[in-house]
């Protein structure tokens, strides 16, 4: 409910803030945290994550993300979206732990619903969605990449990608797992999830977490050229095919969405988890301070 | 019903037309479109597709195919079948679009039921079924290959294989998809189906669409030698094992077979689809004319 | 029931027989067929199969195996278990055919329940379970390895691993198959199961039946060092993750456990199967005699 309200406000604000301008045939709407560059001719929009320092998936960021996506879905001009980062070295660091610490149950519930919403929107999107992974992509950052139709990663061994939840003492939600199994298979997913593996680019390619690894300065251009191949496919057929492949997995969350929220709220409300988060966040603060 | 009647007639005709002859220990029954060479000693039959120019899966061809298969299944002499093409350069071009254009709903329903029937028969066959893929194998042609226990393809880069339905503006039925996912995994299937990918032999091998690629002049001999390995396995155990692996996938179609037919009929009856087919068929005519 | 009784007796005996001694920080309990070496410091126990000549999964061996495992699960000191063989050249030859020949239905039922029990215990174990495969591992021996979190095999081409049931004229149970599909994927499992393939180490690695192949004299040390990596993961998160990955597969057996026992009893009671087993066992006797 709070999310819905926030979205209404932001959608409204978006139409004011979004100041669409014609710039060499490119339009743009400048949200605070998701910069959307629209190239009408190509039918492709670029969504740049700009939530420094590490593109945490804060409630506000999630809300802007979903709204920007909705706008693009409803604008017939666009057929493809490229997700990439505006923050050097990080694609997205995943869930925002400050949304999970020291708040009330209603906030936790709202936050988790927003995380679910983003995943459902991305995973089932009618648009061709690709990620140009130009930085680290752990946990929720990896999830965003996993929803895409194609993933290209910069060949920089400092960047890693994976669902590393166990390393943090938590467990990847079942729908993260379902998306992961669909992408790399049951055994590789079991292995990687148990160990919380973060793969450097070459390993990520080998196990199938990403589809291609290219030199860092070519990540974006390469993603554009692969997008061009996908744009050659009739939309209607491609969309129905994508839905056929993914609907059962998405339905698996949809049918137990409320239970999943309740589970998250009760899990995160535990004293032990709150204590862990506190310690972790203080460490992070000192590091950055 | 019409299909059942046709089958009865053809089965009857088959027994007349099939003129079984002893030729160096080999029998043969010559249907018009599926030439069956039977080598009693080896327990292996070879089914050569002969529906020029491209072995389209016409209703008549499907009917002969299923009847020939039934005969072999009921003849205890035979334990294995090799599917291959008698038409140079093409294994099978897939569904026959002329069966889907300008006919009435009853015809579309009959046609689709025959396509389902072929898939169910092949996918669940107690016989060892292998394909010696000596030509192009798009869409329904690829499906026929996917039902087999083993697939060997000629190493000719002109030949490609894949479920390329999206390229034609249509969507692969869910049971094509299920068979495909079982063969190459979820991610590879999602990728290939969205893009309607047609794989040249080396790529088909890499992604698992085929099991082996050999020089063109060795496709058949190699298939025979692999068949010999499979014949070494006790039939009863192998058949139960095959059924255990495939029953759930086949049941997925069986339980919604009527709905799938209705969906096909209503889809193909649409004006837009009929118009597309008309354009496509006229282009094809000019090309061949 | 007989199994439950046997277990009670053995658990009791175990506490007497198990003579725990402090040997350089290592404890040990010496069952007759499963030698358990416990290294408290590392939190790792080693279970050595000692049921000569080939570590057949006899009812007695299964019972000791399950009891030893229960003890380790209930002892908070232990977080990981390494399974390996004390019999040269054989990891485990699988099910004990003498348990399936010339007995009464009650015995067959008890035996099969014990096989199910071992699989369920291993597959769902909260402990990190690894196998150091230092010998041949066909059929049930392969199943034991498949339940593990990680499999390392000795690089000796004389050793093979696989579910070769069809070669023996029988069929792998559906839950062997489910475990196999989870490990190597649907197509590879279908292929290997139909042919009853026994993979030498290099092939086993390629298809994913094992995770690593190392020189024979390093199998155990390598398993220890991989175990150390797994021990770095918080137990609670890892256990929940493992359960999330495996619960559906285990439930598939649990919900039809009785029916599976009945199927086994009626299958093995058939005259034809008893005759086959008799012939096979006599051949084995002559060979060893």
The predicted-structure confidence for C258-283, as pLDDT tens digits, reads as follows 999 999 999 999 998 899 889 888 98
Do the beta carbons of residue B72 and residue B81 sit within 8 Å? yes
Task: Report chain B residues whose CB lies below 8 A from the CB of C189.
Answer: 245
C257's enclosing H/E stretch is helix C257-269
- The 3-state secondary structure of A244-289, one letter per residue: HHHHHHHHHHHCCHHHHHHHHHHHHHCHHHHHHHHHHHHHHHHHHC
Give the least confident one: A9-18, A110-119, C108-117: A9-18
What is the 8-class DSSP label of residue C131? Answer: E
Residues of A with CB under 8 A from a CB of C: 165-172, 174, 177, 185-187, 189-191, 193-196
Give the least confident one: A39-48, A105-114, B26-35, C60-69: B26-35
Catalogue the long-range contacts made by A22-30 (C-beta closer than 8 Å, 24 or more residues apart).
A29/A68, A29/A71
Task: Name the neighbours of C, counting chains with at least 3 Cβ pairs within 8 A.
Answer: A, B
Q: In chain A, which residue's Cα lies nearest the Cα of B190?
A: A245
Q: Give residue B39's pLDDT.
A: 83
Nearest by CB to C190, which of B230, B233, B245? Answer: B245
Residues C4-18: pLDDT tens digits? 444 444 444 333 333
What is the 8-class DSSP label of residue B199? Answer: B
Q: Give residue B110's pLDDT.
A: 98
Residue C151 CA to residue C82 CA, distance in Å, equals 10
Q: Do B194 and A238 touch (CB under 8 A)?
A: yes
Q: Give residue C41's pLDDT.
A: 84
Q: Do B171 and A208 touch (CB under 8 A)?
A: no
CA-derived radius of gyration, chain A = 18
Q: Give residue C280's pLDDT.
A: 84
Residue C63 CA to residue B199 CA, distance in Å, equals 52
Mean pLDDT of A274-286: 88
Residue A192 CA to residue A194 CA, distance in Å, equals 6
Residues B129-162: pLDDT tens digits? 999 999 999 999 999 999 999 999 999 999 999 9
Give the least confident one: B243-247, C13-17, C109-113: C13-17
- At residue A2, does pLDDT exceed 90? no
Residue C93 CA to residue C160 CA, distance in Å, equals 11
Q: Give residue A3's pLDDT.
A: 45
Task: Report chain C residues whose CB lies below 8 A from the CB of A193.
Answer: 241, 244-245
Peptide bond into A132 cis (omega under 30): no
Q: Give residue A287's pLDDT.
A: 80
Mean pLDDT of A206-220: 98
Residues C34-48: pLDDT tens digits? 999 988 788 999 999
| Number of residues written out for chain B | 289
Q: Give residue A15's pLDDT.
A: 39
- At residue B19, does pLDDT exceed 80? no
Chain A nearest C-alpha distance from C215 (Å): 23
Residue C30 CA to residue C38 CA, distance in Å, equals 11
For residue B265, count other CB atoms closer than 10 A to its CB: 19
Percent of chain A residues topping a pLDDT of 70: 89
Q: Give residue C42's pLDDT.
A: 87
A178 burial level (CB within 10 Å; 0-12, 13-18, 19+) = buried
- At residue A92, does pLDDT exceed 70? yes
Task: Report chain B residues whose CB lies below 8 A from the CB of A183.
Answer: 186-187
Do the beta carbons of residue C143 and residue C126 sit within 8 Å? no
DSSP B54-78: TTEE-HHHHHHHHHHHHHHHH-TT-
> Roughly what angle, to the nearest 10 degrees, separates helices B235-254 and B257-269?
50
Residue C166 CA to residue A260 CA, distance in Å, equals 43
Q: Give residue B284's pLDDT.
A: 83
Residue B52 CA to residue B59 CA, distance in Å, equals 14
Q: Give residue B8's pLDDT.
A: 45
Question: Which residues of A are known catalytic residues?
Answer: 95, 140, 164-165
Mean pLDDT of C157-175: 95
Q: Do C169 and B237 touch (CB under 8 A)?
A: yes
Q: Do A182 and B190 touch (CB under 8 A)?
A: yes
CA-derived radius of gyration, chain C = 18
Q: Structure tokens of B178?
A: 């299920």
Residues A171-184: pLDDT tens digits? 999 999 999 999 99
Q: Do A193 and C245 touch (CB under 8 A)?
A: yes
Residues of B with CB under 8 A from a CB of C: 149-150, 181-185, 208, 211, 229-230, 233-234, 236-238, 240-242, 244-246
- At residue B11, does pLDDT exceed 60? no
Q: Do A182 and B177 touch (CB under 8 A)?
A: no
- At residue A41, does pLDDT exceed 90? no
Q: In chain B, which residue's Cα lies nearest the Cα of C186?
A: B182
Q: Do C194 and B233 touch (CB under 8 A)?
A: yes
Most A CBs within 10 Å, among C182, C241, C247, to test the A interface: C241
Give the least confident one: A103-107, B35-39, B149-153, C195-199: B35-39
- At residue A19, does pLDDT exceed 50? no
Q: Structure tokens of A135?
A: 């930085």
Sheet strands (E) in A63-139: 80-85, 89-90, 94-95, 128-133, 135-138
Nearest by CB to A233, which of B177, B189, B195? Answer: B195
Could you give the C-alpha distances from B67 to B14, B123, B285, C261, in angstroms and in order? 9, 15, 30, 39
Q: Structure tokens of C132?
A: 């150091």
Do the beta carbons of residue A110 and residue A59 sit within 8 Å? yes
Task: Tell me the average pLDDT of chain B.
Answer: 91
- At residue B5, does pLDDT exceed 50? no
Chain B nearest C-alpha distance from C178 (Å): 9
Residues C209-244: pLDDT tens digits? 999 999 999 999 999 999 999 999 999 999 999 999
Task: Report chain A residues whose CB lies below 8 A from the CB of C244.
Answer: 171-172, 174, 177, 193
Task: Tell me the average pLDDT of chain C.
Answer: 91
Contacts of C147 (CB under 8 A, 6+ apart): C119, C122, C123, C125, C129, C179
Q: Give residue B189's pLDDT.
A: 98
Task: Tell me the average pLDDT of chain A.
Answer: 91
Nearest by CB to A234, which of B166, B172, B190? Answer: B166
Chain C nearest C-alpha distance from B249 (Å): 12
- At residue C151, does pLDDT exceed 60? yes
Chain B nearest C-alpha distance from C229 (Å): 29
Q: Do B245 and C170 touch (CB under 8 A)?
A: no
Chain B nearest C-alpha distance from C170 (Å): 5
Mean pLDDT of B261-267: 96
- At residue C3, does pLDDT exceed 70? no
Q: Give residue A29's pLDDT.
A: 67
Task: Report chain A residues whose CB lies below 8 A from the CB of B166.
Answer: 233-234, 237-238, 241
Q: Give residue C273's pLDDT.
A: 87
Q: Give residue B260's pLDDT.
A: 98
Q: Give residue B23's pLDDT.
A: 43
Question: Which residues of C are known catalytic residues?
Answer: 95, 140, 164-165
Q: Do B237 and C191 touch (CB under 8 A)?
A: no
Binning pLDDT at 50, 70 and 90, where does residue B41 land? confident
Contacts of B259 (CB under 8 A, 6+ apart): none
Q: Structure tokens of C97?
A: 């055919």
Q: Do A240 and B171 touch (CB under 8 A)?
A: yes
- At residue B29, does pLDDT exceed 70? no
Q: Do B172 and A238 touch (CB under 8 A)?
A: no
Q: Is the C-alpha dihedral spanning B169, B174, B175, B176 positive or negative?
A: positive
Residues B81-130: pLDDT tens digits? 999 999 999 999 999 999 999 999 999 999 999 999 999 999 999 999 99
ipTM score? 0.90
Question: Which residues of B are known catalytic residues?
Answer: 95, 140, 164-165
Contacts of A172 (CB under 8 A, 6+ apart): A139, A163, A165, A166, A180, A193, C241, C244
Q: Do C233 and A167 touch (CB under 8 A)?
A: yes
Chain C nearest C-alpha distance from B13 (Å): 36
Mean pLDDT of B228-241: 96
């Amino acid at each position: 409910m709070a999310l819905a309200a926030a979205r209404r406000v932001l959608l409204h604000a978006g139409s004011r803030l979004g100041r669409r301008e014609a710039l060499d045939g490119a339009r743009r709407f400048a949200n605070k945290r998701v910069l959307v560059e629209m190239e009408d001719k190509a039918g492709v929009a670029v969504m740049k994550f700009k939530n420094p320092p590490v593109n945490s998936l804060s409630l506000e960021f999630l809300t802007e993300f979903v709204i920007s996506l909705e706008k693009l879905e409803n604008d017939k001009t666009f057929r493809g979206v490229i997700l990439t980062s505006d923050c050097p070295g990080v694609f997205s660091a995943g869930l925002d732990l400050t949304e999970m610490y020291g708040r009330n149950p209603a906030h936790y519930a709202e936050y988790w619903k927003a995380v679910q919403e983003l995943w459902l929107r991305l995973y089932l999107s009618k648009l061709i969605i690709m990620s140009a992974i130009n930085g680290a992509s752990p946990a929720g950052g990896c999830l965003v990449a996993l929803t895409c139709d194609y993933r290209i990663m910069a060949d920089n061994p400092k960047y890693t990608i994976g669902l590393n939840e166990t390393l943090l003492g938590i467990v990847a939600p079942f729908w993260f797992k379902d998306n992961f199994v669909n992408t790399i298979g049951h055994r590789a997913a079991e292995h990687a999830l148990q160990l919380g593996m973060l793969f450097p680019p070459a390993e990520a390619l080998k196990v199938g977490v990403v589809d291609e690894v290219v030199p860092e300065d070519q990540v974006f251009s390469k993603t554009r050229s692969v997008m061009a191949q996908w744009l050659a496919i009739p939309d209607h057929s491609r969309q129905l095919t994508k839905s056929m492949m993914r609907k059962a997995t998405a339905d698996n969350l949809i049918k137990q969405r409320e239970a999943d929220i309740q589970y998250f709220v009760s899990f995160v409300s535990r004293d032990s988890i709150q204590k862990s988060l506190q310690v972790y966040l203080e460490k992070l603060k000192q590091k950055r301070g």
